[in-house]
Chains A and B, each alone.
Chain A
Amino acid sequence: MSYQKKNKRTISEKKAAVLRAGVTVLLGLAVLTAAEYWISFLETPNIALFIIALFKAGLILQTFMHINGLWASEEDHE
Chain B
Amino acid sequence: MSAAATAAAERQLYRNKWGLWLFFFSESFLFAGLLVSRFYLWGNTRPDLDQILGLTVTSILLLSSFFVNRGEMLMKFGDRRGMMNNFLIAAFLGLLFLVGVIGFEWRGHILPTDGAYGAVLYGMTGMHALHVLSGIIFLLIAWNNARKGCYAPESLWGVQACALWWHYVDLVWVFFYPALYLMGNVVP
Chain B: which residue is nearest A27 at the CB level?
A: B66
Contact residues in B for A11 (Cβ distance below 8 Å): 77
Known: A26-B62, A33-B59. A46 touches B174 (CB 8 A): no
Q: Mark A10-37, 1 if CB is under 8 A from B, else 0.
A: 0100110011001101100110010011
5 more A-B residue pairs beyond the given contacts A30-B59, A37-B51, A77-B10, with a C-beta to C-beta distance below 8 A = A18-B76, A40-B181, A64-B167, A65-B168, A77-B7
Contact residues in A for B59 (Cβ distance below 8 Å): 30, 33
Q: Mark A38-65, 1 if CB is under 8 A from B, else 0.
A: 0110000010011011001100110111
A1 within 8 A of B: no
Contact residues in B for A69 (Cβ distance below 8 Å): 17
Are B66 and A26 in contact (CB-based, < 8 A)? yes
Contact residues in B for A72 (Cβ distance below 8 Å): 14
**A contact patch SS:** helix
A positions within 8 Å CB-CB of B: 11, 14-15, 18-19, 22-23, 25-26, 29-30, 33, 36-37, 39-40, 46, 49-50, 52-53, 56-57, 60-61, 63-65, 69-70, 72, 74, 77-78
From residue A8, how far is it (CB to closest CB) to chain B in Å?
11
From residue A54, how far is it (CB to closest CB) to chain B in Å?
9
B70 within 8 A of A: yes
Contact residues in A for B174 (Cβ distance below 8 Å): 53, 56-57, 60
Are B66 and A65 in contact (CB-based, < 8 A)? no
Interface size class of B (residues with CB under 8 A): 35 or more
Q: With A and B bound together, what is the CA distance between A32 and B170 in angstroms?
A: 15
B89 within 8 A of A: no
Are B62 and A30 in contact (CB-based, < 8 A)? yes
From residue B37, how far is it (CB to closest CB) to chain A in Å?
16
Chain B: which residue is nearest A63 at the CB level?
A: B69
B104 within 8 A of A: no
Are B184 and A46 in contact (CB-based, < 8 A)? yes
Are A78 and B77 in contact (CB-based, < 8 A)? no
From residue B75, how far is it (CB to closest CB) to chain A in Å?
11
Are B7 and A22 in contact (CB-based, < 8 A)? no
